[in-house]
């Protein structure tokens, strides 16, 4: 009798715990979905991954890109190859701002894909973000004058 009571208590706790975990997952999914669909969010970089060379840790460096329907502002570093127009000592990294064109958010099989194109002062940048429901994401930036670079980081609400 005592074993039956313990078993039924554990069963109820397991069912309750499982339902709570599902609720948390659904809340996180709807939260990141609302944030991306608002097109008002910030990507905070934790790691830079150039096409060639070593991965670089960026935690605590303050590198980010802010997105809004009216403006994209990038303050990201660049490690990689520049193809033209780069004078020694004048490299500003991937720092640009401009009005986003074709700003899309697509719900994919494993999360979301965000893409946009930004014409900066001297170059055009194509930005692609892939993220899961947790908000952790990979962001890639391609441009005409530089090699593609990727970053791992997190999608957060703009303050």
Going from the first residue of the chain to its last (159 residues), give the mean pLDDT of each consecutive group of 10, the final group possibly shorter: 59 52 48 91 95 88 94 93 63 87 91 94 92 94 91 90
Give the model's pLDDT for residue 25.
46
Give the model's pLDDT for residue 28.
47
Alpha-carbon gap, residue 40 to 66, rounded angstroms: 8
Residues comprising the chain, all counted = 159
Catalogue all structural domains in the chain, each as residue range(s) with its CATH number: 3-157 (2.40.128.410)
Identify any residues that bridge with 6 across adjacent strands, giving them in sequence order.
none
Give the model's pLDDT for residue 139.
97
């Amino acid at each position: 009798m005592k074993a039956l009571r313990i078993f039924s208590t554990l069963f109820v706790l397991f069912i309750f715990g499982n339902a709570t975990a599902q609720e948390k997952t659904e809340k996180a999914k709807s939260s990141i979905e609302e944030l991306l669909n608002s097109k008002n969010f910030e990507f905070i970089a934790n790691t830079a991954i150039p096409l060639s060379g070593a991965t670089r840790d960026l935690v605590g460096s303050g590198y980010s890109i802010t997105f809004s329907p009216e403006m994209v502002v990038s303050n990201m570093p660049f490690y990689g190859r520049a193809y033209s127009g780069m004078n020694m000592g004048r490299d500003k990294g991937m720092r640009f701002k401009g009005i986003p064109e074709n700003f899309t958010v697509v719900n994919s099989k494993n999360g979301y894909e965000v893409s946009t194109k930004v014409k900066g002062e001297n170059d055009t940048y194509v930005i692609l973000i892939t993220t899961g429901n947790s908000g952790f994401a990979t962001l890639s930036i391609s441009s005409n004058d530089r090699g593609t670079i990727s970053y791992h980081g997190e999608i957060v609400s703009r303050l």
